[in-house]
Amino acid sequence: MDSNKNLKKFCRFSVDARTYSGAVRGNMVDIVEGDLFGDLSDIRMSFPVDHVKFLPPIMPTKIWCVGVNYMGHMREMGHEPPKEPLIFMKPRTTVVGSGDPVRIPEWAGRVDYEGELAAVIGKRCRNVSEFEALSFVKGYTCYNDVTARDLQTDNHWIRAKGFDTFGPLGPSILVTEKMPDETKITTRLNGSVMQQDTLASMIFPVRQIISYISRFATLEPGDVIATGTPAGIGRVKPGDRVEVEIEGIGSLINPFISD
């Protein structure tokens, strides 16, 4: 793992119909060989960020999500403070990368963006304490928990949250065990700021969410945990463009189109 030491932002991308693993370095992407969980070595070839198509940085093993995890969002939804994390899942077929379109069928009704921080699990774990939880994290990326709000009437939310393309992920994974509490998360709709908060506003911090899930399920390398959205959710329509930006990671940008 020593060769990972200098790796800051892992990504996957394509150029000229070829697919690579990469490391984002400023406005450049370097090709790296290997995989996120093993040894990675740099290859001395890089491309300007503008010239590459980002792919999802990882195809998740499982996608866990936390509902109602920021005080502001809790209030705007009229929820009571949760006593424990509210966990749900999304299918892997929701995953798309930065730049990929999110497809909205007309019958889905109102569809909302939800900008979120996603943690990527690096090591298998079960029954871990909050104290040790972050040592199982590989890194963090941006997530958009796209939701068909009108259909969120099923208890399990699977249909409302589970449409194909309703889980944009990326553009890169910042390799670190912990994000600073003061890290800013911002969601823009067609360039206007709609959501802005810091990770300090989470009701249940990442370490607590991991410990909670690990009490009933094994977390595996490649599991992604979306950690909830701040206040300011809103509707997105075909033709709109949503950007989820997290300091230190980058911007996840997706156009929305009708399906």
Which spans of this chain sit near Mg ion (rule: CB under 5 A)?
114, 145, 229
Residue nearest to Mg ion (CB): 145
Nearer to Mg ion, 11 or 68 (CB): 68
Alpha-carbon span 114 to 147, nearest angstrom: 8
Identity of the residue, 114 or 245, whose beta carbon is nearer to Mg ion in the bound complex: 114
Nearest approach, Cβ of 88 to Mg ion (angstroms)? 9
Instruction: Rank residues 65 and 128 by Cβ distance to Mg ion and give the closer one.
Output: 65
Supply the minimum distance, in Å, between the C-beta of residue 194 and Mg ion.
14
Side-chain-facing half-sphere of 252: CA atoms under 13 Å: 36
What region, left, alpha or beta, does residue 170 occupy, with left being phi > 0 and alpha being psi -120 to 50 degrees?
left
Structure tokens at 192: 């206007």
CB of 143 to Mg ion, least distance (A): 8
Give least dist CB 97 to Mg ion, A.
19
CA-CA distance, 259 to 104, in Å (whole number)?
5
**Nearest residue (CB) to Mg ion, 147 versus 211:** 147
187 CB-contact burial (10 Å; exposed 0-12 / middle 13-18 / buried 19+) = buried
Minimal distance, residue 129 CB to Mg ion, in Å: 26
Residue number, 30 or 197, with CB nearest to Mg ion = 197
C-beta of residue 221 within 8 angstroms of C-beta of residue 67 = no
Task: Collect all residues with Cβ–Cβ distance below 8 Å to 206 and sequence separation of at least 6.
Answer: 117, 119, 133, 134, 137, 178, 179, 225, 227
